[in-house]
Amino acid sequence: MNQPNHHSASTFTGRIEPGPRGPLLRAADGMCWRLDFGNEPLPEGLAGSISVRGRIVQPSCIAVEFLTLIAGDD
């Protein structure tokens, strides 16, 4: 199984879902990551499909550097 390099940033896309420890990103293939915004507050209106740039810091957690809402999603 190919996994992204944990030391470099990658781009991930999927839908936002609520999770017990914060927002989750669920990819089309079913993979799910918890999104870690560090000391930054959670963005308002975080819903629908997004694109996230960040690093995998744990097997199920992405340290978010930047995110974009994907237009056209309801």
Residue 41 is given by DSSP the state P
What lies within 8 Å, CB to CB, of 16 at 6+ separation is 23, 24, 25, 46, 47, 48, 49, 50
- Domain, as residue range, for 42: 10-69
Helix then strand then coil, in percent of the chain rounded to 5, is 0, 45, 55
For the chain, what is the domain count? 1
- Pull the structure tokens for residue 20: 């017990």
- What are 32-52's pLDDT values in tens digits? 999 999 998 888 888 899 999
Q: Domain containing 34 — which CATH number?
A: 2.40.50.140
Q: Tell me, yes or no, whether 33 lies in a domain.
A: yes
CB atoms within 10 A of CB 23: 20
The model's pTM: 0.81
Tell me what percent of the residues of the chain surpass a pLDDT of 90: 61
Q: Tell me, yes or no, whether 63 lies in a domain.
A: yes
